[in-house]
Structure 1
Amino acid sequence: METTGLNIAGATVQAETAFGIELAKIVGLDEDIPGITTHDGVYPFIDPAPLFAAHTCASKVVLVTGASRGIGVPIAQHFARAGASLALVARNQALLDTVKAGIEADVPGTQVLTFALDVRDTAQVEAAVAGTVKHFGRLDVLVANAGVMQPFGTRLAEVNPATWWNTIEINLRGVYNFIHFAIPHLRKSAGYAIALSSAGGHLRIPTGSDYGISKHALDRLVEFVTIEYPEVKSFAVHPGSVPTDMALGSGAPVSFDTKPELSAATVLYLSTGKADWLNGRYVSAQWDLGEVEEKYKATILEKNALVQKLALP
């Protein structure tokens, strides 16, 4: 399905304002790949069915944060259907137990560990990564999905500083914590560190500085993973306009049309090695990755595009 309307930080806008802000005041709306089909659902190039049938991830161990709701659930389900063993992380143990039971019913025999913790807590994160590796003997894929988005509408000088910094703490520090402790194990497995980012990282939306800055910095963190640890492949993935509780709670007057299975299928595809040429870059799940590869691969590699940098025409 081709997206219509204007895409703002993962949401299709059908009006002249977004988050109560005039579109003319939002910076970065033209910063996208031109001439690429965009999707709100799974499309043939990344169809996970063959990966499920082949149990492509049968020997892999995958750790997913933010796994109790939103897009974290289908991401975990997709890896399970592809044969992976799972470590699921979220704050609420009861919700994790429900997700675990659902996966075990859907894919009998799947091994699933759960860890209820706060991603900001370094000691808890270290224990979860260590516990995963102790139980399974390895770690192949980290999917850092846990995040937060406060309602838009309050400018820098009026927002509660604690609220502003909480967004940075969860969206950036929470991802860094898991990457920090996962890297030694991902280096051994030549694995993947995939972080869920947002188009909001390159858009500058007034009253959304905490979210935008956190995702902008997250994209740069992914770049550093690749630069400092060439053995580890890393991607910053914009999931699209998924109607999660967090997105709906932002109060944005937009249509959230992207199916959560799209981001799950994209993350699974990126972990297969078929898109390693995009290593260290920002990737939108809504882009048709087949078209991106066919039309833009040479340009992206030549110009080192899809990274955060100063650029001149």
Structure 2
Amino acid sequence: MTTPTKTSEYRNSPSGSLSVMDYLAKVVGLDVDLQEVTTHNDIYPFIDPAPHFSARTFAKKVVLITGGSRGIGLSIAQHFARAGASLALVARDESVLETTKADIERDVTGARVLALPCDVRDSAQVSKAVASTFEHFGRLDVLVANAAVILPFGTLLGGVDPDAWWKTCEVGLRGAWNFIHFAVPHLQKSQGYVIAMTSVSGHLRLPTGSDSCIMKLALDRLIEFVPIEYPEIKTFAVHPGSVLTDIALRSNAPIPFDTKPELPASTVLHLAAGKADWLNGRYVSAQWDLGVVEQKYKTAIVEKNALVQKLALP
């Protein structure tokens, strides 16, 4: 998470009115990160998607993206389409989904897009969506679990609507689990990828943000399980950076939103192209310069089995 350069007000805090700087002082875990790694808020050379666009790297691949009609999911869909992939896009709002499908097919020559209205919490609907993807395209190579909701910051655990709190977990965690569950047989055959859009919040304790922090923590662990049980499948839990999406706006999160959606989209493209399989089963921040991470940390990360959830011993 980037430290803000100026102070603004966080007026919904339980203590009345906290500045962003005062709020961040209460966050636990901000000091835990890779050291001496260049960070980015936009596309940088090591993950430049242009070569994938020109070579149509994913021309024979099928990519299913949940939460694919808006925000980060939309940017990821656009990147994969430009790289030649066939797309299955999942979202609840059918009208927005159809508009997204039409826009991509208009903007990307030869794009093939399947729109799948679906509630990711409903296992029957998810089973049908995965089956429809396979029936339509004949394969599945990449699953991007991006669907999410989040409660507005500012309410303590004891004062929040319990059903609304749990919905964050149902959409983000159960939604990802549902799609992974039904996609596994297809991804085994294609030796494919699961990429879950997680968050640095899974490693933090953000006051009044427990729903998101706990859900993302569990999502990170889910991503670790998949390649252990299914070695044919590669997985990554990707922190996208602080991207200003509709969900972010509604969250009233007391942080600066300074990351362009093209950064996580390009990172996902890079990972799904097999450019960093040594990070399989691990947490990855899109803001890290992956070239620097590979150069400085690859040996240590692999030998120490780092970037996974575990107890830190002295």
CA contact (8 A) 1:235 1:278 kept: yes
Name the CA distance, whole Å, in 2 between partners of 1:271 and 1:297.
Answer: 18
* Matched residue, 2:44: 43
Alignment-mate amino acid for residue 137 of structure 2: F
Deviation, 1:252, is 2.5
1:208 is aligned to 2:209: yes
Q: 1:111-122 alignment to 2 at 5 Å?
A: 111-122=112-123
* Matched residue, 2:69: 68
CA contact (8 A) 2:2 2:256 kept: no
Name the CA distance, whole Å, in 1 between partners of 2:135 and 2:272.
Answer: 22
Deviation, 1:50, is 0.4
Deviation, 1:14, is 3.9
Q: Which of 231-240 and 95-104 deviates more? A: 95-104
CA contact (8 A) 1:16 1:23 kept: no
TM-score of the two chains, using structure 2 as the length reference: 0.94
Q: What is the SS of the residue equivalent to 1:204?
A: coil
* Matched residue, 1:30: 31
CA RMSD of aligned residues (A): 1.5
Which of 1 and 2 has higher RCO (CA within 8 Å, sep 6+)? 1
* Matched residue, 2:310: 309
* Matched residue, 2:280: 279
Name the CA distance, whole Å, in 1 between partners of 2:49 and 2:243.
Answer: 19
Alignment-mate amino acid for residue 273 of structure 2: T
* Matched residue, 1:78: 79
Name the CA distance, whole Å, in 2 between partners of 1:233 and 1:221.
Answer: 13
Name the CA distance, whole Å, in 2 between partners of 1:277 and 1:239.
Answer: 19
CA contact (8 A) 1:119 1:177 kept: yes
Q: Which of 274-283 and 20-29 deviates more? A: 20-29
TM-score of the two chains, using structure 1 as the length reference: 0.94
Q: 1:7 aligns with which of 2, 8, 27?
A: 2
Alignment-mate amino acid for residue 38 of structure 2: T
Q: What is the SS of the residue equivalent to 1:258?
A: coil
| Moved >4 Å (runs of 4+) | 16-21
Structure 2 gap ranges (5+)? none
Deviation, 1:13, is 6.6
Name the CA distance, whole Å, in 1 between partners of 2:113 and 2:185.
Answer: 22
- Provide the aligned length of Structure 1 versus Structure 2: 305
1:138 is aligned to 2:135: no
Name the CA distance, whole Å, in 2 between partners of 1:210 and 1:257.
Answer: 23
Q: What is the SS of the residue equivalent to 1:7?
A: coil
Name the CA distance, whole Å, in 1 between partners of 2:243 and 2:25.
Answer: 24
1:169 is aligned to 2:170: yes
Q: 1:150-165 alignment to 2 at 5 Å?
A: 150-165=151-166
Q: Which of 250-259 and 83-92 deviates more? A: 250-259
Deviation, 1:16, is 9.1
1:123-151 CA-to-partner distances (Å, cap 9, x unmatched) read 00000000000111100000011001111
CA contact (8 A) 1:13 1:254 kept: no
Name the CA distance, whole Å, in 1 between partners of 2:302 and 2:31.
Answer: 21
What is the identity percentage for the equivalent residue pairs of Structure 1 and Structure 2?
Answer: 67
* Matched residue, 1:3: none
